[in-house]
Amino acid sequence: QVRLVESGGGLVQPGGSLRLSCAASGSIISINAMGWYRQTPGKQRELVAGLTNGGKTNYADSVKGRFTISRDNAKNTVYLQMISLKPEDTAVYYCKGTIRDKTDFIARDYWGQGTQVTVSS
């Protein structure tokens, strides 16, 4: 069984910063791509930032230059550093990992439970 647990969300003023963490645990053989998504009520979940196993990153246009995704392979953890936060960044942020586990050696997507980020004065 594989589990992703996010942390680091909270309330921050506009212009502030937060760092989200997502730790993967369980019967992991390997982790391929990992990414951060966000969702607001009534809207579809959208990709915020992605990071491949080879280190290639991609970002939503709305966060380029403000958000940075990184990964600590030794800890099976992915981070999202967010600066210059805006009220429109308010959302539930979810971590997704494409992970091959020991159960059947098949790579599949796993999601965390989400962490709320609220940007408000």
Q: pLDDT, tens digit, for every residue of 92-104?
A: 999 999 999 998 8
pLDDT confidence of residue 1: 86
CA–centroid distance for 72 within its chain = 13
* Residue count (the chain): 121
CA distance 15 to 19: 14
pLDDT for 65-93, tens place per residue?
999 999 999 999 999 999 999 999 999 99
Spatial CB neighbours of 27, under 8 Å, sequence gap ≥ 6? 1, 2, 101, 102, 103
The three-class DSSP label of residue 87 is helix
Residues paired with 88 in a beta bridge: none
pLDDT confidence of residue 13: 98
